[in-house]
Amino acid sequence: MNRFYFAKTNKAAIFFAMALLPSGMVYSQVKKDTVTKEKKIDEVVVIGYGTQRKESVTGSVATVKGDALREVPSANITQALQGRAAGVDITQTSTKPGAAMQIRIRGTRSLTGNNDPLIVLDGIPFTGSLSDISSSDIKSLDILKDASATAIYGSRGANGVILVTTNRGSKGQKPKFTYNTFTGVQTLFSKYPMMDGEKFAKLRAYAVPAGTNTPLYNNGVDESNNTNTDWQDLYYKPAMMTSHDVGISGGTEGGNYNVGLSYFKQDALIPIQNYERFALRMAIDQQIGKVFKFGFTTNTNYSVSEGNGLNPGAILGYSPLANPYNADGSLKRTMITAGGIDQTWIYTRQGINGLGDKYIDESKSFASYNNMYGELNIINGLKYRLNVGLDYRTSNSGNYAGVGVFNTNPLGPSSAGRGNNQTYHWVLENLLTYDRTFGKHKINAVGLYSAEGNRIVSSYMSARNVPADFFQYYNLGQAPQADISVKPEDQLYIQNGLLSAMGRVMYTFNNKYMLTATLRADGSSRLAPGNKWHTYPAISLGWNITNESFMQNVKFINLLKLRAGWGQTSNQAVAEYSTLGRLGVVPYNFGNTNSTGVYVTEAPNANLGWEYSKTQNYGLDFGFFNSRLTGSAEVYRTHTVDLLTRKSLPISSGIASQTANVAESENKGVEVSLNGIIFDNPEGFTWEAGVNFYTNRNKILSLASGTDRDENNLWFVGHNINAIYDYQYVGLWQAGDPYQSILEPGTPADVTGSIKVLYTGGYNADGTPVRAIGPADRQIFDTAPKFQGGFNMRFAYKNFDLSTVGAFQHGGILISSLYGSASYLNRLTGRGNNVDVDYWTEDNTDAYFPRPGRHLSGDNPKYSSTLAMFDASYLKLRTITLGYNVNKEFLKDLKINSFRIYFTVTNPVVLFSAYHKLSGMDPEPNSVGNQNQAVTGYQARQLIIGTNNPSTRNYLMGLNLTF
């Protein structure tokens, strides 16, 4: 095994590259005042329903400043957060404009429930995503990772919490105007590595079944060996991306305000696809007298996505021998290839752009997130606060394809569909806070009672034979009544609620010894009577060794603090109404009467309850050499029990399954974050750097009914939740290999050059295998990397600065369906274009990929799913930015406070990646497992490289202006 998943990545090179990185931290400090605060060890951290000095925090909290996020210009601040915080794994689920990203904090806990963290915006649980918040508006992100930190948010915080604090004006501040913008071009990072005409013609000619002299497929009427069409060139085009953000902030003696407006648009490399977003934000705080304060925050956005139904999957399989043009130079509508077997509608940029009203696929979304609060000073140190959150989200999607569009039949009927979705969310929180210092004793106590509700309404309908293109999807009632479809399963109504009570006490003695204790109780409407409520505790301790008397003469240590925490959280991971069971809907006719029937698909469970996670966390925070070197190290273990999943029922019951609390999982790991200020001369040369790395070992401890595996869902006891179950590639069968006729029955002419997989069976006394290779030889592969992390560096000389942000991971399995069996792009038969691979021939017997046209299983080489596994290691620069701050003396005459211009390139460099070396592609996933595949191969929860939009390398120019 010399490559791919079993390849030996150049570990020495990775460690050498990491060794060159100076010590670093979670975020790079951009301004001098930030550095000064760090030296004083006085940074304030948001911890949920309050703040705390960083040196007093006893839970696991990572902080990323807004300035650091803005170092990575992007549509989604989640992209800017990648690699910034240890234990926070952020991965693409799609490369389409405006797509959300997957966030996992310290691994995956639930088998069937939501594993996304809770987002809290300015103190109120946020039902939107991070992509709904402009990076220009963010002051800081504080990420709560362990139970002692997240328990205050109860079941909503079971998967970690991201606290978003936005910029607000200051009391007495003169009005300040800011304008942040960037504009640039997105270029192709790399094409999908498909064969050109010459290579494909050679493959097709060589794909001859054993015992014949005729290739599996010959040229069709639209193909010629003299043709070499690059279909990707006819589909992709460099695309623009632009962002504009305007803000005004200020204050009076009694209050402050912040108002902003932002606009973002990103076009895709593929035709007509784009994402556009408008956002308005406003924050007002006002003091009335000495005892009362109130405030209001709103974040409203409107977005439009177009062309999301398009992807490059179809064109990748087009034969490069096919000519897309007619004799007169016009584009063909369809083409016939593979000896007449395949007739295909032709996708090109020119053709799709020319459809006009004949094609539309769009989604329009509006969301308004609104928080209000009132705060009353009762007596010295005692406050009452009322938080009210009112959110509304609506989205409308529609699609239309006219007569013959995307159809080989020019008279194929038109089709249209329309969906609507509304989400209503409210939250009411009553908070009582007591905060006083008595000599060496500091006490902060918080009591909470809250209620929260959600209501979701959605519907979808479709139609065929819409009479005119201009109707598109806006009036489906114009279609013939018999062609209008409103399915019962496409209409949805959901309502759920949560009641909570919480108490937390934080105690500090002499700034040396710290205690935080939390008790939370949640009641969920989703669970069965008798199991709706659960109460869980959390406690953490801290010892600030630095402030002990025996440390006073140790001048090089500024901070040395030990932390230990234990706590429990719960997760209401079950879908609404699961306690009642589930019904399926089926239409039927009784004679001439059409009706709808229902049947039981899942049995009810009156004992359905919470998933529980118990977490232990041990940490060390440190700062040396006047805080020139700071950081933290942590170890943790999370044990989750009563996991909700479907339990199979006896066939005699007539019902397939029941949702029950039946499984266990574990996550444990190590996290290290470092910060280094190597040179610190604000008037000359400054060099700052950071690095963080972390490990997470995730595994399932038990499943339903004492079984050790669930092959349908790919869950296996002792292995991680995203494991793969497949054969293990060990090479290719060569002529004369022993036991071939036993292990892989078939003629030598057919089997030689095909994939050989690991045999795990026994052997007879004479050394011969006892059986052929079969399903019992499949192996379980854990996909998680051994470790991963991120790094950043910033150099500054006078008014110039140069910064870079990167990420790395070592080990694990990367799934690329391009090379496996799921995408039909590596069939090695010559039917459709093939990924450019080094395949076996009589003159190339040491190849990695099998002989074309032999030993097939369906449309693919037998065991070809094993070809999809690669070593997932990589080291990647995400951005490089060069900036210039215009001289302040020059700006003073213009009455401008600051003016910065910068140039950024994103995705510039990939190193140490076996997949990138083979394919030239970005080694990060771009799809979920069941997306854009020719055949089912992977679970939706698994992230893969599929036939989604190609990755881009972006070149951006921007400016930041304040006056």
Q: pLDDT for 206-224, tens place per residue? A: 999 999 999 999 999 999 9
Most trustworthy range by pLDDT among 154-158, 635-639, 934-938: 635-639
Using CB atoms within 10 Å of the CB of residue 687, give its burial: 0 to 12 exposed, 13 to 18 middle, 19+ buried: middle
Q: Which amino acid is at 488?
A: P
Cα dihedral: 20, 26, 32, 35 (round 10): -90
- The CA–CA distances, whole Å, from 426 to 154, 371, 472, 695 equal 17, 10, 36, 37
* Mean pLDDT in residue range 569-594: 80
Task: Please check whether residue 795 is in contact with residue 96, taking contact to mean a CB–CB distance below 8 angstroms.
Answer: no
Taking 50 as the threshold, does the pLDDT of residue 1 lie above it?
no
* Mean pLDDT in residue range 155-170: 88
Taking 90 as the threshold, does the pLDDT of residue 291 lie above it?
yes
Q: Indicate the DSSP class of residue 233.
A: T
pLDDT-derived band of residue 594, with 50, 70 and 90 as boundaries?
Answer: confident
* Mean pLDDT in residue range 798-808: 93
Q: How far apart are CA 677 and CA 274, in angstroms?
A: 41
Task: Please check whether residue 255 is in contact with residue 285, taking contact to mean a CB–CB distance below 8 angstroms.
Answer: yes
Q: Name which residue leads in pLDDT, 513 or 608.
A: 513
Taking 50 as the threshold, does the pLDDT of residue 20 lie above it?
no
Q: In the structure encoding, which two tokens stand for residue 917, read together?
A: 């070396």
Among 501-515, 660-674, 892-906, name the one with the lowest average pLDDT. 892-906
Mean model confidence pLDDT for the chain? 90
- Give the CA angle between residues 764, 765, 770 to the nearest 5°: 5
Taking 50 as the threshold, does the pLDDT of residue 9 lie above it?
no
Taking 50 as the threshold, does the pLDDT of residue 175 lie above it?
yes
Q: Name which residue leads in pLDDT, 56 or 812.
A: 812
Residue 351 sits at φ, ψ, to 5 deg, of -65, -45
Residue of 733, 736, 734 lying closest to 755 (CA atoms): 733
Taking 80 as the threshold, does the pLDDT of residue 37 lie above it?
no
Please report the beta strands in 765-922, taking only residues with DSSP state E, as ranges in sequence order: 779-781, 787-797, 800-810, 813-815, 856-857, 860-861, 869-871, 874-885, 898-911
**At a CB cut-off of 8 Å and minimum separation 6, what does 324 contact?**
229, 231, 234, 331, 332, 335, 346, 348
The pLDDT of residue 76: 80
Task: Please check whether residue 230 is in contact with residue 239, taking contact to mean a CB–CB distance below 8 angstroms.
Answer: no
Taking 80 as the threshold, does the pLDDT of residue 7 lie above it?
no
Taking 60 as the threshold, does the pLDDT of residue 18 lie above it?
no
Taking 60 as the threshold, does the pLDDT of residue 4 lie above it?
no
Span 541-554, pLDDT tens digits:
999 999 998 988 88
Task: Please check whether residue 487 is in contact with residue 450, taking contact to mean a CB–CB distance below 8 angstroms.
Answer: no
The dihedral through the CA atoms of 522, 527, 528, 529 has a sign that is: positive
Q: How far apart are CA 715 and CA 713, in angstroms?
A: 6
pLDDT-derived band of residue 74, with 50, 70 and 90 as boundaries?
Answer: confident
Taking 90 as the threshold, does the pLDDT of residue 199 lie above it?
yes
Alpha-carbon radius of gyration of the chain: 30
Bridge partners of 493?
457
Taking 70 as the threshold, does the pLDDT of residue 27 lie above it?
no
The pLDDT of residue 682: 75
Q: How far apart are CA 730 and CA 725, in angstroms?
A: 16
pLDDT-derived band of residue 39, with 50, 70 and 90 as boundaries?
Answer: very low
pLDDT-derived band of residue 42, with 50, 70 and 90 as boundaries?
Answer: low
Task: Please check whether residue 80 is in contact with residue 74, taking contact to mean a CB–CB distance below 8 angstroms.
Answer: yes
* Mean pLDDT in residue range 69-76: 81
**Could you give the percent of the chain with pLDDT greater than 90?**
70
pLDDT-derived band of residue 29, with 50, 70 and 90 as boundaries?
Answer: very low
Query: In this structure, are strands 382-401 and 441-464 parallel, antiparallel, or unpaired?
Result: unpaired
Taking 80 as the threshold, does the pLDDT of residue 795 lie above it?
yes
* Mean pLDDT in residue range 782-789: 95
pLDDT-derived band of residue 253, with 50, 70 and 90 as boundaries?
Answer: confident
- Give the CA angle between residues 21, 25, 27 to the nearest 5°: 115
Among 62-76, 345-359, 445-459, name the one with the lowest average pLDDT. 62-76
Task: Please check whether residue 505 is in contact with residue 445, taking contact to mean a CB–CB distance below 8 angstroms.
Answer: yes
pLDDT-derived band of residue 23, with 50, 70 and 90 as boundaries?
Answer: very low
The pLDDT of residue 359: 96
Give me the residue label for tokens 């696991």. 60
Span 101-138, pLDDT tens digits:
999 999 998 988 888 999 998 888 888 888 888 888 88
Q: What is the DSSP string of 714-773?
A: TEEBTS-TT-EEE--EEEE--TT-TTHHHHS-S-HHHHTTSEEE---S-B-TTS-BSS--
The pLDDT of residue 924: 95
Torsional class of 9: left (φ above 0), alpha (ψ -120 to 50), beta (otherwise) = beta
Q: Which amino acid is at 694?
A: Y
Residue 662 sits at φ, ψ, to 5 deg, of -135, 0
Taking 80 as the threshold, does the pLDDT of residue 889 lie above it?
no
